[in-house]
């Protein structure tokens, strides 16, 4: 699904595969494999592609406009993983609309990104299990199970797990712009 969506967005913008590869710093071969669903891109690769296409990351997974009521079954959730940072996200919301809800899982010592990054939305994170540091504009906020943190995502931010057990958390972002 994601490969066809990337190809569609790339061609709509008049970009060749080689141009997208050069702009992202990702090889043409990898982008070709992703577009043909022969390779699963990392979270970092998807962020680079989304940035060049001038789109929020999760819009690469956007579903067509749906019904007024949508049920998302646990087994049918979209998953994005980043093995390098030890983080994975599953989309709890249906993939359309003005609100994105994600369930995050961060391994001990892991981070959501190598460096803090920005995107145009508002974000609220709720820790379900473990400990999570929310780094926003250089300030670190330690959260434990049951704690939450709200911030403007236009500020540089990322999530870190300082503990020795995995951290599970929910993120609500509006508008969707990961």
pLDDT at 62: 67
Q: Are 154 and 119 in contact (CB under 8 A)?
A: yes
* pLDDT at res. 22: 95
The pLDDT of residue 78 is 77
Fold of 2-55: 434 Repressor (Amino-terminal Domain) (1.10.260)
Buried/exposed 14-28: b ≥16 CB within 10 Å, e otherwise? ebeeeebbeebebee
Low-confidence ranges of the chain (pLDDT < 70): 62-67, 83, 177-178
Q: Quick count: other Cβ atoms within 10 Å of Cβ 65? A: 7
Domain ranges of the chain: 2-55, 75-174
Structure confidence by residue, pLDDT tens digits, 46-79: 889 988 998 877 777 766 555 678 788 888 887 8
What pLDDT shows up at residue 124? 97
Q: Residue 74 CB: number of other CB atoms within 10 A?
A: 8
pLDDT at 67: 67
What is the CATH architecture of 75-174?
Answer: Sandwich (2.60)
């Amino acid at each position: 699904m994601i490969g066809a969506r990337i190809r569609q967005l790339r061609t709509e913008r008049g970009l060749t595969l080689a141009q997208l590869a050069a702009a992202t710093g990702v090889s043409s071969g990898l982008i070709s494999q992703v577009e043909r669903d022969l390779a699963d891109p990392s979270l970092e690769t998807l962020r680079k592609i989304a940035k060049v296409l001038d789109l929020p990351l999760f819009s690469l997974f956007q579903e067509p406009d749906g019904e007024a009521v949508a049920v998302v079954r646990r087994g049918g959730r979209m998953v994005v993983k980043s093995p390098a940072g030890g983080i994975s996200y599953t989309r709890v919301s249906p993939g359309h609309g003005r609100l994105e809800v994600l369930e995050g899982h961060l391994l001990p010592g892991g981070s959501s990104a190598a460096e803090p990054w920005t995107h145009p939305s508002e974000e609220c994170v709720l820790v379900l299990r473990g400990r999570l540091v929310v780094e926003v504009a250089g300030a670190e906020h330690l959260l434990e199970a049951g704690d939450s943190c709200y911030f403007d995502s236009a500020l540089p931010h990322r999530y870190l797990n300082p503990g020795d057990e995995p951290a599970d958390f929910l993120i609500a972002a509006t508008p969707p712009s990961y």
